[in-house]
Amino acid sequence: MSNASDDEFHNFITGRWPSLLRTAYLLTGSHHDAEDLVQNALARAYVKWDHVRHSNDMAAYVRQIMIHAHADRFRRRTVREWFTPRLPETPVADQTAHVDRRSTLMDALGRLPARQRSAVVLCYLEDMTHAQVAAALGTRTSTVRSQITRGLTKLREDGVLAALAKRPAAPPAGPRRPVPQKGTIR
């Protein structure tokens, strides 16, 4: 194509893009598929640009190319759809409550000091022993135990663990509580 033809094609694209995209969206129902369809149609129109620009209505010509390109997409599909008497998927329980519980727990952990949070997460969520946590944090096992105890106490006082377990919150810390066994959150 000559530079004049390229300029004319470029002007056509910039002027008609929104209209073609809107039509393609109505055909495909997806913004991404619509963009692909318009680009495919414009690539085909570019190859035939001499025919397109001499037509009575260039936009109608390109729109017709786009409609044929859309029909070609369906002809080439290898997967066919058919109706069956039963649904292929099995129903799944609503997981919204788990998302809420996780969000609540993450917020509560975020309110703990960094060392307590690290110790609690590594011990209870990553299932590491106190010795492994101590090695990971570069501290003593006794320090890990005290950080975990303090962290769990703050979580209890915050009422987060009680809310997650759906039981009443523990009273504010009085006498020291025993360190919980690994794998349990009280």
| pLDDT tens-digit map of 124-165 | 878 889 999 998 888 999 999 999 999 999 988 887 767 777
Statement: residue 115 has pLDDT above 70: yes
Domains and CATH numbers, the chain: 3-75 (1.10.1740), 97-165 (1.10.10.10)
pLDDT at 74: 66
Give the chain as a DSSP string.
--HHHHHHHHHHHHHHHHHHHHHHHHHHS-HHHHHHHHHHHHHHHHHTHHHHHTSS-HHHHHHHHHHHHHHHHHHS-SPPP---SS-SSPP----HHHHHHHHHHHHHHHTS-HHHHHHHIIIIIS---HHHHHHHHTS-HHHHHHHHHHHHHHHHHHTHHHHHHTSPPPPPP-SPPPPPPTT---
What average pLDDT does the structure give for the chain? 81
The residue with tokens 């975020």 is 110
Tokens found for residue 178: 């025993």
| pLDDT tens-digit map of 80-113 | 666 677 766 777 777 777 777 778 888 888 888 8
pLDDT at 30: 83
From CA 121, how far away is CA 137, in angstroms rounded?
12
